[in-house]
Amino acid sequence: MTIGRLLVLCLVIWPSLGAAAPLARDLFGAERVASQQRPQAIGSYAKGCGAGLVQLPESGPTWQAMRLSRNRNWGQPALVQFLIDLSGTARQVGWAGLYVGDMSQPRGGPMRSGHESHQIGLDADIWMLPPARLSLSRAERENLSSISVRTDDQKRVNDNWTRAHHLLLRAAASDPRVDRVFVAAAVKIEMCRTATPADKAWLQKIRPLYGHNTHFHVRLKCPAGSRRCETQTPTVADLSKGGDGCDETLTWWVTTYLDELKNPPKKPKGPRKRGPRDYTMADLPRQCAGVLASD
C-alpha cells in the first residue's frame, strides 16, 4: 500500500476511532512535491487544494522566487505563466524583473503559517521592491526584505512609490486572467487620484486590503476546466454602473477602517471563530483527500 493510500484510509477511520483528526495544515505542509494529476483548482481560495500544480523555477531571466525555504513557489500552470509574463512587463516599465513571494504549497491547502488564502494555486505575492539584480543566492533570498510604499499613518503613499509601480499594477489588473489585485488602501487611493477618466476600467480589480504595503497580491480567475473551483462574488459594481471602487475605498478607509484601528471594537464573547489553520480534511472538498493520496 502506498503512503498516499494509507493516508486516505487513516482519514476515513480516524473519526470512527474517536481520535482527533489531524489538521489539514500539517498534512499539506508536509508535502514536498505536487500530485501527479491533471491540474485542477479545487474549492475556494481560502478553503481548498490544488491538483497537478507546477513549480515556478527558482530563477529566470526576469524573475527570482524568494524565501525558497518555504517551498511555496507552486501554482496552477496559468499562474506560473502569468508571473513569467508579468515579469517581462516589469522589464518594459523599467524594472529588472520581479521578486516573487509566496504562491502555494506543492499541493495547495491550508498553511501552517501566514496566509489564509493561497490554497488552490491561483494566488501570488509580488514584492514592491524593484530588483537590484536577479542573481541573488538562496541565503540572500531568505534575508532580503521588501519595501513599504505607504506612510506609517496608512493614509498616503511614500517616496518609495513610483510611476513604474503604477504601470506594473495597471498591467496586472488589465490582464484578463486576473480576478483581483490586493494592495494597501493608500495605493488604491493614489491610483484613483492619478488615473485618467478614460483609463479607469482596470481599477475595478484593484482592491484595498490591510497588510499589503510591501507586496501586492494577484489572484487569478478559475482556469478553464477547473469545474470544482469556486468563483468569487464581485465586491465592486460593474464599471458601467460606476464601479471602479474609488469613492468606496476612500470613504471606507478614512471613515471606518482607520477609526477602528484607533478604537478597536470589543471582541465578541464565546469560542474563537475557526479559520483555515483549524481545518481538518472534513472541512475541505472531498477531492482534496485524493490530492494528498496521489503519488
| Ramachandran assignment for 79, one of left (phi > 0), alpha (psi -120 to 50 degrees), beta (any other) | alpha
Q: Which domain holds residue 65?
A: 38-260
- Going by the DSSP 8-state scheme, the letter that residue 257 receives in this structure is I
| pLDDT for position 10 | 55
Q: What is the pLDDT of residues 209-247, one digit of tens each?
A: 888 999 999 999 999 989 999 998 765 554 445 567 787
Please check whether residue 14 lies inside any domain of the structure: no
**How many folded domains does the chain comprise?**
1
CATH number of the domain residue 65 falls in: 3.30.1380.10
Would you say 100 and 20 are in contact if contact means Cβ atoms under 8 Å apart? no
Q: What is the pLDDT of residues 90-109, one digit of tens each?
A: 999 999 999 999 999 999 99
| 145 vs 196: CA distance, rounded Å | 33
**Any idea of the CA torsion for 256, 181, 215, 226, to the nearest 10 degrees?**
130
Closest CA to 191 of 227, 229, 213, 161: 161
Please check whether residue 247 lies inside any domain of the structure: yes
Please check whether residue 266 lies inside any domain of the structure: no
Please check whether residue 28 lies inside any domain of the structure: no
Please check whether residue 6 lies inside any domain of the structure: no
pTM for this model (two decimals): 0.88
Please check whether residue 173 lies inside any domain of the structure: yes
Q: What is the pLDDT of residues 45-98, one digit of tens each?
A: 999 999 999 999 999 999 999 999 999 999 999 999 999 999 999 999 999 999
Please check whether residue 285 lies inside any domain of the structure: no
Would you say 54 and 75 are in contact if contact means Cβ atoms under 8 Å apart? yes
Please check whether residue 283 lies inside any domain of the structure: no
